[in-house]
Amino acid sequence: MGKPTTKDLAKAAGVSLATVDRVLNARAGVRQATVDRVQKAIRDINYVRDLAAADLARRKEYNLVFVLPEHDDEYVQQIRGAIAEAAAFLASERTQVSILRAPSSDPHKIVHTLDGLACAQTDGVAIMAPETPQVRDAIARLEARGIDVVAFVSSQPTAKNADYVGINNTAAGRTAAQLIGRFTSGQQGSVLVLTETMLARDSQERRLGFDQVIASFAPRLQAMPSMETYGDPARTARIIERALQNQPSIVGIYLMHHDIGETMRIIRAEGVAMSAVVVGHELTPRARTYLLDGSMDALITQDVGHLVRSSIRLLRAKATRRETVASQERIRIEIILRENMPE
């Protein structure tokens, strides 16, 4: 005869539907004795709430916003694709998700974007932006206004209520080092470490983990200091050329940034791609072709679809004070070789 409903519960507890509801939602204005009676009845008849029905009655809609970098590299495009895919599905679940863009390098504009979110219109925000004091404060302001926040891909360790949805970058760096160390076994030489900028916290953490593990391969491997491309092709070419001159025996290259296209183009042009073990981050279309043609050896990734869905689940759960399945929200550090590449 089906699961017990609020009606059954009301009858079992000898109260009305309204009181049952008050207890279920922990609303004030119910005598403790009554609360206890209802709670006992819940256990007695083994009542479980139908959350979908509750949502319906509340006729609540969720408006979620992703704040993404303005610079549109392949990785950000993938993220936008994943958001669009999720959004299409969520439309029938009373959830709207939209995207706002702000330049990563300009904290003021990011803050301006965040402050501009109307709390009546927004229930939660997933923010992908470098950690800065300004952004941290803007997040605090959002939370003060009752808007939930998750840190998306870029962690915000100083913003205490913003859950982080992304991989452990130190562990990712360790993984990269282990791969380079093992794939180069039998060889001896130096390892190039490249990134866009070491100002980014991700790069700092990845480098930290990388060094922890690369040390275990000393003295066979020496990791060189991090070199920053600043996203500038000319500079990148100069850096790499100089490195190759100074260090003739480069056996490994670690690309810490997700936007590897231009850097890989130069590395290939210099002719080291096939002889050195090259490890990078994120399975973008270009990274995929480099993996297939052998110029890259392994990729470390976090599934963008998973990142997006997890953020949405977290924000919705926060808004409704509901539980999530913890194991589902753990973002895995994936290792992609040619053999286990999806598709």
Residue 84 sits in the site that holds a copy of itself (CB under 8 A): no
Residue 49 sits in the site that holds a copy of itself (CB under 8 A): yes
Q: Give, in degrees to the nearest 5, the angle at Cα 239 between 234 and 245.
A: 125
Residue 44 sits in the site that holds a copy of itself (CB under 8 A): no
Residue 153 tokens read as 């891909």
Residue 325 sits in the site that holds a copy of itself (CB under 8 A): yes
| Count of residues touching a copy of itself (by CB under 8 A) | 53
Site string for DNA, 47-76 (x = CB under 7 A): --xx--xx-xxxx-----------------
Closest distance to DNA from the beta carbon of 61 (Å): 9
Residue 59 sits in the site that holds a copy of itself (CB under 8 A): yes
* Residue from 58, 72, 89, 199 in contact with a copy of itself (CB under 8 A): 89
Number of alpha carbons in the 13 Å side-chain half-sphere of residue 67: 28
Residue 19 sits in the site that holds DNA (CB under 7 A): yes
Note whether 291 and 247 are within 8 A (CB).
no
**Among 18-26, 84-92, 241-249, 252-260, which window interacts with a copy of itself (CB under 8 A)?**
84-92
Q: How far is CA 253 from CA 47, 186, 259, in A?
A: 58, 16, 15
Residue by residue, DSSP assigns 260-327 as -HHHHHHHHHHT-TTTSEEEEE---HHHHHHHHTTS--EEEE--HHHHHHHHHHHHHHHHHT----GG
Question: What is the C-alpha separation between 300 and 134, in angstroms, rounded?
Answer: 30
Hey, which residues between 237 and 266 contact DNA (CB under 7 A)? none
The one-letter code for the residue type at 331 is I
Residue 52 sits in the site that holds a copy of itself (CB under 8 A): yes
Question: What is the C-alpha separation between 44 and 13, in angstroms, rounded?
Answer: 10
Site residues, a copy of itself (CB under 8 A): 2-3, 48-53, 55-56, 59, 61, 82, 85-86, 89, 91-94, 171-172, 174-175, 177-179, 182-183, 185-186, 209, 213, 297, 300, 303, 305-306, 309, 323, 325, 327-328, 330, 332-335, 337-340, 342
